[in-house]
Amino acid sequence: MDETAIRTEKLNIAFPGVKALTDVDFSVKKGEVRALVGKNGAGKSTLIKIITGMYKPDSGRLFIGDREVKHATPELMTKTGVKAIYQDNDLIPYFTVGESIMLKKEWTKGPFIDKKKVHETARTILSEKLGVDIDPYTPVSELNVSRQQLIQIAACLVEEPKIMIFDEPTAALSVKEIEKLFSIINTLKKDGVSIIYISHRFGEVFKIADSITILMDGMKVADMNLADTTEDEVISLMAGNEKFNQAKNRKYIRNENDIALSIRGLQNDFLQNINFDLYKGEILGFFGGEGMGQQKIAKAIFGELNAEFGNITVFGKETRLSRPAQAIKNGIAYIPRNRLEEGIVRGFMVRENVTLPKLRAFSRLGFINPGAEETVAVEHIKKLDIKTPGPSAQIANLSGGNQQKVVLARWMVTEPRILILDYPTIGIDVRAKNEVYKILLDLAEKGMSLILITPEYEEVAMLCDRVIVMRDGKITKELNADELSEYKLLSYAIGSGEEGDKNA
């Protein structure tokens, strides 16, 4: 009988307005690689945070082997042998490789740390366990992403883990580096370490994993051995075998001669020869797994990311977009995903947030005119139906949905012709989402061109006239609204759907 390394029984956890997990049973055998997959918001991260002790479930049980863990904490789960490797590492840049690996196993020589032994032990671990030659005296800051990831793995191995979690580990790795990672995982597996492997890349999942657990809407859909299933079956289960229902009330007719934005040859160290056109009055969606390049395209167009362009035209005029000021001058506005850190200024009033991009227009001789600010703010509060006690209310006291409307209002003040939105409904309730949908559809009806980045399939169906699918920094497919199905999107985003000719 196979020994179970970790299992959960009937896990339930809810956050305000969201049931994150419902009766989830999950298990991994000793020496097994189990893939954990699901759409964004399916519950993968929540499950992992319960397993690592970061979240306490509302109900349910967690077992390591045969022993129930009743009060899991990150410290306790680490001591129990659970270790996680995340896409964003937590290494200290000014530490050496050896110090980073041996951080929790420092040897002392009298009252002092035996630095020679620390670094030589780290060298042995890197060489014998990972098969890599990295000078342990090298500062972490001098290593590339893939080597930093190896340092994370080595630091975990020092503590002899029983269960290792890899969360999107190959996002920034080359093909050769991925092969090296897989070799390490196979060695860990032979040593009896259990692996939980989270990835949006199905080619990897079928190559490295033994079994798979599929989550959807916080519930387990299936547990399967990968030898007994196919990529098509897994994608169908993730998608729920449902087709999209277009919910737009408008019929968009594209004028091929009325191009708002034309991008040719956009590239950097990740993006690969991105080419697309955005038409006047169109809502163009960008869809893909996390970190596939959608956000990088948005930031590059807005001048927030260093990238090369072969050619850019805005409403037929060739231009440059290397700084946000240039983008704004060309009528381009950008609403980032992280509303609290990049969108609103929490210490400001509503009116101050609304008028921020055009502050000079409300200033005279270096002094801001609060009356002029208030007039414009009130106009947009009414236009976007922002629920606030008034323009002088602190934005921090508004709901998430109304804060998002204020961010929209801010850019409406600049009178943009092109609006780029990165997941504009993140963290807001259903009613607020519908209000934002109405606003975006209304803007498009009035001739504004929108680029919408969203991981939510329903939003793609609700809003987009056309969708560009991304994977690994490349465009894999372009779909018109009448071609959309959840299966198709997933197939081209995370499956093995063939790349289209958009990058040719």
How much is the average pLDDT of 135-163?
89
Q: Which residue has the higher pLDDT, 476 or 231?
A: 476
pLDDT tens string 472-492: 899 999 999 888 888 889 889
d(CA 419, CA 332): 6
Q: Which residue has the higher pLDDT, 371 or 148?
A: 148
Instruction: Domain ranges for the chain, please list them.
Output: 4-239, 258-331+417-504, 340-415
Report the pLDDT value the prediction gives residue 503, as an integer from 0 to 100. Answer: 41
Report the pLDDT value the prediction gives residue 204, as an integer from 0 to 100. Answer: 86
Whether pTM > 0.75 for this model: the answer is: no
* DSSP string for residues in 415-432: --SEEEEESTTTT--HHH
The residues, any chain, with a CB within 8 Å of residue 119's CB and separated by 6 or more, are 96, 97, 98, 99, 102, 136, 137
193: number of CA atoms within 13 Å, CB side? Answer: 26
Report the pLDDT value the prediction gives residue 502, as an integer from 0 to 100. Answer: 41
Choose the CATH number for 258-331+417-504 among 3.40.50.300, 3.40.228.10, 3.10.20.310, 2.130.10.10: 3.40.50.300
Report the pLDDT value the prediction gives residue 382, as an integer from 0 to 100. Answer: 84
**CA torsion angle for 224, 454, 394, 413 (degrees, to 10)?**
180
Q: Which residue has the higher pLDDT, 249 or 463?
A: 463
pLDDT tens string 193-205: 999 999 877 888 9
Between helices 370-383 and 400-412, what is the axis angle to 10°? 110
pLDDT class for 172, splitting at 50, 70, 90?
low
pLDDT tens string 53-97: 999 999 999 999 999 999 999 999 999 999 998 866 778 888 999
Report the percent of the chain where pLDDT is more than 70. Answer: 89
Structural contact between residues 418 and 263, judged by C-beta atoms closer than 8 angstroms: no
d(CA 267, CA 265): 6
Of 19-33, 206-220, 279-293, 332-346, minimum mean pLDDT range? 332-346
- Does residue 246 surpass a pLDDT of 50? no
Mean predicted lDDT score pLDDT of the chain: 86
Structural contact between residues 326 and 303, judged by C-beta atoms closer than 8 angstroms: yes
pLDDT class for 250, splitting at 50, 70, 90?
low
The amino acid occupying position 411 is: W
Tokens of 75: 């410290």
Q: Is 69 exposed, middle or buried (0-12, 13-18, 19+ CB in 10 A)?
A: middle
Of 111-115, 244-248, 288-292, 350-354, minimum mean pLDDT range? 244-248
* DSSP string for residues in 173-216: --HHHHHHHHHHHHHHHHTT-EEEEE-S-HHHHHHH-SEEEEEE
Report the pLDDT value the prediction gives residue 281, as an integer from 0 to 100. Answer: 96
| Maximal C-alpha separation, the chain | 81
Sheet holding 67-68, edge to edge: 18-29, 4-15, 59-64, 67-68
Fold of 4-239: Rossmann fold (3.40.50)
CA 237 centroid distance within chain:
22
CA 344 vs CA 30, 267, 415, 430: distances in Å? 47, 30, 19, 21
The amino acid occupying position 60 is: G
Same fold, 4-239 and 258-331+417-504: yes
Structural contact between residues 28 and 196, judged by C-beta atoms closer than 8 angstroms: yes
How much is the average pLDDT of 5-10?
96
How much is the average pLDDT of 16-20?
75
Tokens of 341: 């850190």
Q: Which helix (H) or strand (E) holds 392?
A: none
- Does residue 2 surpass a pLDDT of 90? no
pLDDT tens string 101-140: 998 776 666 677 788 888 999 999 898 888 888 999 999 9
* DSSP string for residues in 232-298: HHHHHHHHTT-------SS-----TT-EEEEEEEEBSSS---EEEEEETT-EEEEE-STTSSHHHHH
DSSP letter at 25 equals E
The amino acid occupying position 37 is: V
How much is the average pLDDT of 413-421?
90
The residues, any chain, with a CB within 8 Å of residue 176's CB and separated by 6 or more, are none
Q: In terms of C-beta distances under 8 Å and separation of at least 24 residues, what long-range contacts does 45-50 make, across chains too?
A: 45/167, 46/13, 46/20, 46/21, 46/218, 47/8, 47/11, 47/21, 47/215, 48/84, 48/165, 48/167, 48/196, 48/198, 50/8, 50/11, 50/13, 50/21
How much is the average pLDDT of 435-441?
86
Report the pLDDT value the prediction gives residue 113, as an integer from 0 to 100. Answer: 77
